[in-house]
């Protein structure tokens, strides 16, 4: 059970950040001294909170407050951002937004390409609200199963957005890519966003 949301602490955090806007404007990487200072102040609200920041160059930069997939902290993050101050040049975002599947990552030595992956929905008739996924990955092997699994969680978090990845997908299984995935009932992984949206519309009506 998480601690209740405390508006006074949230207000105090935002006042502090406004007072340190010059430091925020200069923030570019974790090597910058203000990175750890900001993280420390944020984690005074809850040690499960983290942040991401966009790089300088755009007219408006983003500070994303994330719970790293811990759904119990989502209300706290959303409450924080709902009362965020108006800071020139900045947008404050609750939870990592959906970025789609048009990217690739290198994770623990694995080169992972979402556009080459396929998924098969796993729905239990006795628990239709629970969505499982069997995801077929080129080059998957049991010896590196944990690395593949962790990398895939990063992909889903990035592609679907933090909230959807944590609340719409319940179980994930991994397997090697079949020779003809479409024939075996798999769908291209980039179609997962549309599938989740379609499934959500069916279960909420």
pLDDT reported for residue 10: 97
pLDDT reported for residue 1: 45
Pair of tokens at residue 126: 């006795």
Q: Is the pTM of this model over 0.75?
A: yes
**Distance in angstroms (rounded) separating the CA atoms of residues 19 and 14:** 9
Confidence class for position 204, pLDDT limits 50, 70, 90: low
pLDDT reported for residue 202: 80
Query: For 57-94, how does the pLDDT look when each residue is reduced to its tens digit (9 = 90+)?
Result: 878 999 999 999 999 999 999 999 999 999 999 999 99
Q: Is 81:67 a contact under the CB 8 Å cutoff?
A: no
Pair of tokens at residue 57: 């160059």
pLDDT reported for residue 125: 82
* Domain spans in the chain, listed from the N-terminal domain onward: 7-94, 105-203
Q: Is 35:10 a contact under the CB 8 Å cutoff?
A: no
């Amino acid at each position: 059970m998480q601690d209740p949301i405390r508006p006074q602490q949230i207000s105090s955090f935002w006042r502090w950040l406004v007072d340190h806007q010059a430091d925020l404007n200069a923030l570019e990487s974790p090597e910058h001294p203000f990175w750890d200072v900001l993280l420390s102040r944020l984690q005074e609200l809850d040690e499960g909170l983290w942040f991401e920041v966009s790089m300088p160059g755009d007219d408006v930069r983003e500070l994303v407050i994330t719970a790293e997939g811990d759904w119990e902290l989502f209300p706290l993050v959303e409450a924080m951002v709902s009362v965020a101050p108006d800071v020139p040049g900045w947008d404050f975002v609750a939870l990592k937004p959906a970025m789609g599947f048009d990217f690739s990552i290198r994770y623990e030595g694995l080169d992972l390409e979402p556009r080459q992956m396929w998924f098969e929905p796993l729905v239990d008739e006795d628990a239709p609200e629970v969505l499982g996924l069997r995801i077929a990955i080129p080059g998957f092997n049991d010896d590196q199963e944990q690395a593949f699994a962790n990398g895939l969680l990063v992909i889903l978090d990035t592609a679907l957005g933090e909230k959807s990845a944590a609340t719409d997908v319940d179980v994930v299984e991994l397997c090697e890519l079949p020779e003809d995935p479409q024939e075996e009932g798999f769908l291209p992984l980039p179609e997962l966003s549309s599938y989740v949206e379609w499934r959500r519309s069916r279960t909420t009506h």
